[in-house]
């Protein structure tokens, strides 16, 4: 094969995607421990079945597909109006945010959207990303050639990092260098902490003053327990002129396997909105009808009650992890408005070393903090999406064996 035809930037990526690395390590462990009883609190994958209202909606939609009068072929690339309108009614109107259904673009996942959106931007735009954060923002920009090379300290030379650490109460400072794209994630994956209204206003004002664009990932917003905290960037005055928001049904409604999400590109962003529409029409044929009916159903009164109960279940698990680890003398963050617990390691232990030690002594899997950025070194993420009883067993092992 002619090496000259391949995208050279892939060589700048770390060996494999974070969660693939973890999966490989688990497989290796299982290879040498045939009777391993591993409890997985690593990747944030849901474990509670889809709510009855959504299952019912899917069955009904499947039946429609079997009948000539109600069968559907290609749907609108942007999503059916019934779902776009339900999203606005269920998510934005209750928080005082007005939204035009045309600004809602339904998709098959926020991971894809947050990576695909880069196609709208020039190759040489400068980016700022929180550190630590969901690795897709960085990796996808490395692939696009925007990041320069990785330095010895783990940072890429052309990226501005926004440290989000216990020292600054997980509220990052504004970028020190001029940037045109700013990624924000709240509640933050992996720290499980939330950006305050003041912090978001600071970033929105900065973006409007400098012409930067904010890419706001709100995939975990439904876990925010304090109603006074911002759930959407559009609750912040001025945000419609400078921000795109990504939301997902994966963590809200257990759709990690079902696949449905949406991205908001407000009319105020003018050309970017029509470019995203053009991109989606060209490269995407919409989310399947059955899935969109399931997503719609979570906004019915009964669907919302069932959804809230599932969220509460995960948050009960988060509270249990927090309190058990705290009682055992560990320092933890997050877990109050998000299903992730950010565990501070002791005695300068490296997060990948701790991964191996936790797996070896307790057969519990988590995610090493350094996989989310250099500021994540010395931390470890546990997910509250695991089965509650299994998580209880994991905590017992940690208390007894670690
Ligand atoms: C995570 O564990 O960080 C998430 O499950 C990954 C994702 O949402 O893609």
Q: Do 194 and 125 belong to one domain?
A: yes
Last residue of one domain, picked from the residues 299, 331, 348: 299
The pair of three-digit structure tokens given for residue 288, joined into one six-digit string: 């399947």
CA distance 103 to 101: 5
Q: What is the mean pLDDT of residues 285-314?
A: 98
Q: What's residue 14's pLDDT?
A: 82
Q: Do 294 and 307 belong to one domain?
A: no
Last residue of one domain, picked from the residues 299, 329, 356: 299
Residue to mutate (ligand 1; options 110, 115, 138, 189; most atoms within 8 A of CB): 189
Q: Ligand 1, residue 45: give the atom nearest the CA.
A: 5
Q: What's residue 208's pLDDT?
A: 98
Q: Are 129 and 179 in contact (CB under 8 A)?
A: no
Q: Do 213 and 75 belong to one domain?
A: yes
Q: Do 170 and 106 belong to one domain?
A: yes
378 CA from centroid of ligand 1 (Å): 20
Q: Are 192 and 333 in contact (CB under 8 A)?
A: yes
Determine the distance from the C-alpha atom of residue 323 to the mean position of all C-alpha atoms in its chain, rounded to a whole number: 24
Q: Are 137 and 188 in contact (CB under 8 A)?
A: no
Inter-CA distances, 208 with 122, 173, 269, 367, Å = 19, 16, 12, 36
Per-residue pLDDT band for 397 (boundaries 50, 70, 90) equals very high
CA distance 154 to 379: 15
| The pLDDT of residue 17 is above 90 | no
CA distance 168 to 43: 26
Query: How many domains is the chain partitioned into structurally?
Result: 2
Cβ < 6 Å from ligand 1: which residues? 43-45, 111, 134, 189
Q: What is the mean pLDDT of residues 218-227?
A: 97
**Which residue, 271, 208, 196, is CA-closest to 237?**
208
Among protein residues, the one with the nearest Cα to ligand 1's atom 5 is 44
The pair of three-digit structure tokens given for residue 24, joined into one six-digit string: 């490989």
**Cβ–Cβ contacts within 10 Å for residue 349, how many?**
13
DSSP letter string, 86-98:
HHIIIIIGGGT--
Q: Do 255 and 312 belong to one domain?
A: no
CA distance 27 to 16: 15
pLDDT digits (tens, 9 = 90+) for 43-59: 999 999 999 999 999 99
CATH number at residue 161: 3.40.640.10
Among protein residues, the one with the nearest Cα to ligand 1's atom 6 is 44
pLDDT digits (tens, 9 = 90+) for 141-194: 999 999 999 999 999 999 999 999 999 999 999 999 999 999 999 999 999 999
| The pLDDT of residue 15 is above 80 | no
Check residue 308 and give left, alpha or beta (phi > 0: left; psi -120 to 50: alpha).
alpha
Per-residue pLDDT band for 16 (boundaries 50, 70, 90) equals confident
Strand partners, 213: 181
The pair of three-digit structure tokens given for residue 238, joined into one six-digit string: 């001025």
Among protein residues, the one with the nearest Cα to ligand 1's atom 3 is 44
In degrees, rounded to 5, the angle at the alpha carbon of residue 221 between the alpha carbons of residues 215 and 226 is 130
Last residue of one domain, picked from the residues 249, 266, 299: 299
Q: Are 87 and 104 in contact (CB under 8 A)?
A: yes
Residue to mutate (ligand 1; options 23, 132, 134; most atoms within 8 A of CB): 134
pLDDT digits (tens, 9 = 90+) for 246-298: 999 999 999 999 999 999 999 999 999 999 999 999 999 999 999 999 999 99
| The pLDDT of residue 340 is above 80 | yes
* Long-range contacts (CB closer than 8 Å, 24 or more residues apart) made by 56-62: 56/297, 57/293, 57/294, 57/296, 57/297, 57/303, 58/290, 58/291, 58/293, 58/294, 60/293, 61/289, 61/290, 61/293, 61/294, 62/290
Q: Do 15 and 139 belong to one domain?
A: no
311 CA from centroid of ligand 1 (Å): 16
Q: Ligand 1, residue 367: give the atom nearest the CA.
A: 2
73 CA from centroid of ligand 1 (Å): 31
In degrees, rounded to 5, the angle at the alpha carbon of residue 254 between the alpha carbons of residues 397 and 392 is 15
363 CA from centroid of ligand 1 (Å): 21
Q: Do 92 and 73 belong to one domain?
A: yes
Q: Ligand 1, residue 256: give the atom nearest the CA.
A: 8
Domain that holds residue 292: 53-299
Q: Provide φ and ψ at 13, rounded to 5°.
A: -75, 150
Inter-CA distances, 342 with 36, 133, 163, 256, Å = 25, 12, 15, 22
Q: Do 211 and 75 belong to one domain?
A: yes
pLDDT digits (tens, 9 = 90+) for 354-369: 999 999 999 999 999 9
Q: Do 132 and 165 belong to one domain?
A: yes
Q: Do 32 and 116 belong to one domain?
A: no
Q: Do 181 and 79 belong to one domain?
A: yes
CA distance 42 to 240: 35
**Which residue, 106, 82, 90, is CA-closest to 303?**
90
Residue to mutate (ligand 1; options 18, 19, 250; most atoms within 8 A of CB): 19
């Amino acid at each position: 094969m002619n090496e000259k035809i391949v995208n050279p930037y892939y060589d700048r990526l770390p060996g494999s995607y974070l969660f693939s690395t973890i999966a490989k390590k688990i497989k290796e462990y299982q290879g040498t421990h045939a009777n391993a009883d591993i409890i997985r609190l690593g990747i944030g994958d849901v474990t509670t079945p889809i709510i009855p209202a959504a299952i019912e909606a899917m069955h009904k939609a499947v039946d429609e597909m079997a009948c000539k009068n109600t069968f559907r072929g290609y749907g609108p690339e942007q999503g059916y109006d019934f779902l776009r309108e339900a999203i606005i009614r269920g998510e934005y109107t209750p928080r005082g945010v007005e939204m035009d259904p045309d600004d809602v673009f339904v998709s098959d996942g926020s991971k894809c959207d947050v990576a695909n959106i880069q196609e709208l931007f020039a190759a040489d735009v400068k980016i700022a990303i929180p550190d630590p954060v969901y690795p897709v923002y960085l990796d996808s920009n490395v692939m696009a050639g925007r990041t320069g090379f990785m330095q010895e300290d783990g940072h890429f030379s052309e990226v501005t990092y926004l440290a989000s650490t216990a020292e600054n109460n997980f509220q990052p400072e504004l970028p020190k260098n001029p940037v045109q794209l700013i990624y924000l994630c709240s509640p933050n994956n992996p720290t499980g902490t939330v950006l305050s209204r003041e912090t978001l206003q600071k970033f929105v004002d900065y973006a409007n003053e400098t012409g930067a664009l904010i890419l706001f990932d709100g995939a975990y917003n439904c876990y925010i327990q304090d109603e006074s905290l911002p759930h959407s960037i559009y609750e912040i005055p001025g945000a419609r002129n400078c921000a795109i928001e990504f939301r997902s049904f994966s963590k809200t409604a257990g759709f990690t396997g079902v696949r449905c999400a949406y991205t908001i590109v407000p009319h105020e962003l003018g050309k970017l909105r029509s470019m995203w529409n053009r991109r989606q029409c060209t490269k995407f044929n919409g989310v399947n009808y059955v899935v969109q009916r399931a997503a719609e159903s979570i906004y019915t009164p009964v669907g919302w009650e069932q959804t809230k109960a599932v969220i509460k279940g995960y948050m009960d698990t988060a509270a249990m992890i927090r309190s058990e680890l705290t009682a055992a003398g560990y320092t933890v963050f997050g877990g109050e408005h998000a299903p992730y617990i950010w565990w501070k390691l002791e005695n300068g232990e490296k997060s990948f070393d701790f991964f191996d030690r936790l797996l070896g002594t307790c057969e519990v899997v988590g995610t090493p903090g350094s996989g989310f950025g250099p500021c994540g070194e010395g931390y470890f993420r546990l997910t509250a999406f695991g089965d509650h009883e299994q998580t209880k067993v994991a905590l017992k092992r940690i208390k007894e064996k670690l």
